[in-house]
Amino acid sequence: MALVTGASRGIGAATARQLAAQGFDLLLLARSEAELAELATELRASGRRVETQVLDLAEPSGIATGLADLLGRGLDPGVVVNNAGAAYTGPLAAMPLEQWQWLLQLNLTSVFQVCQAVLPALRRQGGGHIINVSSHAARHAFPDWGAYCASKAALASFSRCLAEEERRHGIRVSTLTLGAVNTPLWDSATVHSSFDRRAMLSTERAAEALVSLALQPASQIVEDLTLMPAGGAF
């Protein structure tokens, strides 16, 4: 059983499809009800059990309740993929506080909240695997991407700390560090760029990397896997 956040489109939807092809039943979480329902119908037709929860991870007050509902349906995930996230472009000096808080909530705090919600189940079953999707922006400074860089750097540090704390419970934590991926993120109102998206990684390649991590045996851990476009950083 695998839980995937941000599952209705992009990397999340591609990952859900590939996990289903590998025999995983799924707990899918996203804010788009229509897209989530369409994906669930598709995956159920392949014989997989799929439970969904419509939840906006930008709203911290609803996360615990929404996850309690999803996790209360009798299916405990062994793999948790924290994929949901967002980006914002603009100079730090002019960034509104509410935009900073929104981005940190989605890219960092919501991951913390999801992990807190799933840890009791993972501990009960003697272990599991949490995979957090990060970015090469965690390691490099890019003008007008400062808030995004900071959020992903914090996520990488959070992942390492969580791994150390939960190792004794048999819980492994990995980070997938991605270069630019051609996802709907580039179409969002908070991102302004002119990159050639044809040179980016595809969502399917990113999903393959996530599934490869998910299929690692419990006796080993890939702590961080970095996947970049052949052309390097944009």
- Give the residue numbers marked as catalytic: 148
φ, ψ for residue 3, nearest 5 deg? -105, 135
Answer yes or no: are the C-beta atoms of 15 and 83 closer than 8 Å: yes
Which amino acid does the sequence have at 225?
A: L
Pairing of β 26-30 and β 171-178: unpaired
DSSP 7-44: TTSHHHHHHHHHHHHTT--EEEEES-HHHHHHHHHHHH
Query: Roughly what angle, to the nearest 10 degrees, separates helices 97-104 and 146-166?
Result: 30
Answer yes or no: are the C-beta atoms of 12 and 83 closer than 8 Å: yes
H or E element at residue 172: strand 171-178
Sign of CA dihedral 178, 201, 185, 19: negative
